[in-house]
Amino acid sequence: MPTRHGTSLRSTRGRATGFLTTLQHRLRERIFAASFYHHTLRAKARDKLSAQPADPWRGDAARANALFQGRYRFAGSEVQLFNRPPWVAEAPSLDWQLEAAAFAWLRDFRAEGGEAARGAARELVATFIETFGEWHQAIWRADVLGRRLMAWSAHADYLLAGADHVFRRGFLVSFERQARHLVRAVSLAPEGGGRIAALCGALLADAALGGLGRRARGATADLEAELREQILPDGCHVSRNPSEQMRVLRDLVWLRHGLAAARAPVPLALHGAIERMAAMLTFLRHGDGALSLFHGSTEEDRAIVAETLALATPARERTAPRVIGPSPDVAQYAGYERLAAGHTLALMDTGAPPPEPFADLGHASTLALELSVGRDRMIVNCGHRAGDNWRIASRATAAHATMVVGDANSTEVTPTGLGPRPTVTVRRQEDEGNVWIDADHDGYLHRFGLKHRRRVYLSAAGDTFRGEDALEGVAPGGAPPARALEGTPFVVRFHLHPDVQVSLLADGALLRLANGEGWRFRAGGAAIGLEESIYLGQIGELRRAEQIVLSGTVPPEGVAVKWAFGRIETAT
């Protein structure tokens, strides 16, 4: 029975994030904002790009039609502007503004086809150059600029075909100036996926322009260093966020595809990183094809998830995926366990929250789980939503399917990060298709003198999922076990997907999934109740849901709450 001690998730390189670095960044931004700076971004007189990268992702003609009509939907919010570009709008959020300025939607106009669509795309590009042709703190931020240059380089042939001299010259000059700025500003990109996006943009722009000099040539080494830092050995992104996992993977696949189309060298490290990340993205999916909800993730569009995996996985392996790590159901470095049997799938967070500087979206979700049956989700975490109030609430332990002690978080949640991470121990056992996980963490030890232990079991047929949540009194410093803090309240929460119908029974509850399948829930050792919940699993949506709660107070000897979900067999 393998055992994992500690978090198994660590940063491999110290990052300078202190006052001196912040001061340096501000000084450089003051230089970028100076009136003379734009004149340092020299652009050659050219009639076309030296090479043509490509965009591997499918466009959506219906979305192009909405944009053509002035319905600009980005980051879950829509702004309607008749005959005006989005650059003049009062953006509902910074994320909305940045997604618009990344220009990934150019592929949608290309998919729509026709000269009207091409003309509309050109007009949006031209008005963008008029509005943001010089450095802007947000719009020229290195990660946004990287993604914009990926899109502009891939769709330059589409935009320039039949274009007049004014647009052609304005586009090519702006493209090169932005590219020259990007190679200077890559180090200012946000940590994590943003840094990778900036480097991908710099490499594709360099290929498209036929070389931007020494700084651009160093981007390959910088990318390889970021991949070593950010991609764990089992393929998980260090943020532990499934949505970020997919975003980074898509950027890397785009880079590989784009460089190959431009006949430029493809870094060898790219292939291994993509392969490992694709295997982990598959690991983090539910039966409906969408993503699990951990550490700031949303479900994401299942068609886009499938498309990502299709292009990330070599054709020879799509029917027989390579197994990464000691088991296809264990992500040791990522800190996740996967229990799968029959049509039932459970995912469990058995790691500590992500380290700095990725903790601003990290959730206090240690030992939280999600459960799906076929294409139907049953137990969920609440998900994540932007905005200060929602952001803090969705990161709390109470927003996850796990045990909460004293209405506290298992890891302290702050607006900008997280407190000390708990130590987690995990043991897994498998026998003839039955799976047991036995895990514990000490996140409540300092405040309450308690250790949370969660045991779960999934039967080989997938028709029984049961567990036990226990609180054990522990004395810090290796002293003999202490008596638990008598009277400390606890709650075990099982948030249900909004499509699950639930009715309370004397000893449990009856659940009906969206497909009509019935499950019976039973529990002992705590009072059983139903409470309202909220589901934030899809961007821009807020859905009401319910949660089963098991509550009580801790006696001196500690407490053990047992529970079970069992499929209800129906006559055929």
pTM of the predicted model, to two decimals?
0.92
Per-residue pLDDT, 130? 97
DSSP state of 134: S
Q: Are 567 and 517 in contact (CB under 8 A)?
A: yes
Q: How many angstroms separate the CA atoms of 294 and 381, rounded?
A: 7
Report the DSSP beta bridge partners of residue 508.
505, 522
Region 56-74 average pLDDT: 96
Backbone phi, then psi, for 255, in 5-degree steps? -60, -50
Per-residue pLDDT, 473? 85
Per-residue pLDDT, 320? 41
Of 22, 56, 39, 269, which is closest to residue 154 (Cα–Cα)? 56
Residue 142, helix vs strand vs coil: helix
Per-residue pLDDT, 19? 61
Q: How many angstroms separate the CA atoms of 548 and 506, rounded?
A: 13
Q: How many angstroms separate the CA atoms of 510 and 519, rounded?
A: 6
Q: How many angstroms separate the CA atoms of 284 and 286, rounded?
A: 7
Percent of the chain with pLDDT over 70: 91
Give the gyration radius of the chain's Cα atoms.
Answer: 25
| Strand-pair category, 417-418 with 424-431 | unpaired
Region 431-451 average pLDDT: 94
Per-residue pLDDT, 4? 46
Per-residue pLDDT, 5? 40
Per-residue pLDDT, 368? 98
Q: How confident is the model at residue 18 (pLDDT cuts 50, 70, 90)?
A: low
Per-residue pLDDT, 476? 53
Does the structure show a pLDDT above 70 at 15? Answer: no
Q: How many angstroms separate the CA atoms of 94 and 71, rounded?
A: 18
Angle (CA) 136 139 145, round 5° = 115
The most confident of 34-48, 219-233, 383-397, by mean pLDDT: 219-233
Does the structure show a pLDDT above 50 at 276? Answer: yes
Give the chain's domains with CATH numbers: 335-567 (2.70.98.70)
Q: Which residue carries 């029917």 as its tokens?
A: 319
Q: How confident is the model at residue 14 (pLDDT cuts 50, 70, 90)?
A: very low
Does the structure show a pLDDT above 80 at 424? Answer: yes
Per-residue pLDDT, 557? 84
Per-residue pLDDT, 365? 95
Residue 294, helix vs strand vs coil: coil
Which has the higher per-residue pLDDT, 492 or 324?
Answer: 492
Question: Which tokens sit at 173?
Answer: 């000059």
- Lowest-pLDDT range, 2-11, 61-70, 302-311, 425-434? 2-11
Question: Per residue in 289-333, pLDDT tens?
Answer: 999 999 999 999 999 999 999 999 865 444 444 433 334 688 889
